[in-house]
Amino acid sequence: MIDHLFVADAAWLGADDLAGPTAVGVCRDEISWIGPPSAAPPAVPRTHLDGILLPGLTDHHVHTALIDPAELLVAGVTTLVDLGGTPDDLWPLVERSRNDPDLPRIRAAGPFLTAPGGYPTQQDWAPAGIALEVDGPHSGAAAVESLLPHEPITIKVALNSEAGPVVDDATLRAIVHTAADHGIPVTAHTQGPGQTLRAYQAGIRVLAHTPWTETLTDDLINDLARSTTIISTLDIHGWGTPTHERDTALRNLHRFHAAGGTVRYGTDLGNGPLPRAVNAREVVALTEAGLTPVDILHAITSSLLRPGVPADLTAVPADPTTNPGALSRAITIHKAVMRGIR
């Protein structure tokens, strides 16, 4: 069944080069068919697109409380991952985003888990309720359990020894094990000497930022590359001006990517002067870290265009397999609004 066809002169279907003329058939907001326009059923309503068709784009690290999420949807970003917000505002927004065609789909961690007085509780920007302070393994496990009714996409833990106390290893392991019992990965903000190693050793498998406070050892880079996803957020350092922190993060990410690690595009949107679109400077930084344009496409799209996935469709005005900067001029063609999509 096809309700509607989206037709473009070219599309990115996951390969190193663009595919030629492509039609994507959508049925009840799910992709139900892909093929050449000439092979598509003739009687179905169709929309001809200017530009090159891509899957919807994802920013894997945002703070929706500090931005207007609707601005991102206009710019081709059909999914946002919120990595820290206040429950009273965040969970209703997540729910609304499932059915609201004007909002990107928002997936969220909920509040940070942190040590009493730990990051970000002492930050000027941190509103009340943004963190659950945990003071031992039982308290850490209970905090995870308390979030389960909201179906968090991940659990966010702050391990920032430069901004206050951090949870101990036993508490960290209790958080990771409790989350794992429910199939939920844990994402850590690591900052300060040794914190990335602690996260890895506790079983944390997503880093919310490329580590920037120290050069990681070769052993840790290799262990992370085998097991862990790093969300890039390179442009938070200097916003276009070179800094020592940016250099350290770039070198760590370059080595991680070269060792086969999985990189995801993420900006920490809401933190500092970042554009309300795909950040062209983040894309440049990913290129500097050794990602090819096609690597960047894989890092910024959550699933390829294929039958059975939600019909999130984006278009860009130039070939992103040779010019990844085109991503900053993306527009959303269609955002799937389906019950049951998380």
What is the binding site for Zn ion (CB under 5 A)? 268
Tell the smallest beta-carbon distance from residue 217 to Zn ion (Å). 25
Considering beta carbons, is residue 62 or 250 the nearer one to Zn ion? 62
CA distances in angstroms from 173 to 114, 135, 179, 202, 296, listed in the order given? 13, 13, 10, 5, 32
Tell the smallest beta-carbon distance from residue 84 to Zn ion (Å). 6
Residue bearing tokens 């390179």: 234
- Measured in whole angstroms, the distance separating CA 250 from the mean position of its chain's CA atoms is 18
Tell the smallest beta-carbon distance from residue 115 to Zn ion (Å). 18
Tell the smallest beta-carbon distance from residue 83 to Zn ion (Å). 5
Task: State both tokens at 79.
Answer: 């999914």
Task: State both tokens at 47.
Answer: 């929309």
Distance between CA atoms of residues 64 and 234, nearest Å = 19
Considering beta carbons, is residue 53 or 157 the nearer one to Zn ion? 157
Question: CA Rg, the chain, in Å?
Answer: 20
Considering beta carbons, is residue 268 or 282 the nearer one to Zn ion? 268
Give the β-pairing of 229-231 and 262-264: parallel
Considering beta carbons, is residue 52 or 62 the nearer one to Zn ion? 62
Tell the smallest beta-carbon distance from residue 50 to Zn ion (Å). 34
- Measured in whole angstroms, the distance separating CA 80 from the mean position of its chain's CA atoms is 6
Distance between CA atoms of residues 32 and 28, nearest Å = 9
Nearest to Zn ion by Cβ — which residue? Answer: 268
Considering beta carbons, is residue 29 or 268 the nearer one to Zn ion? 268
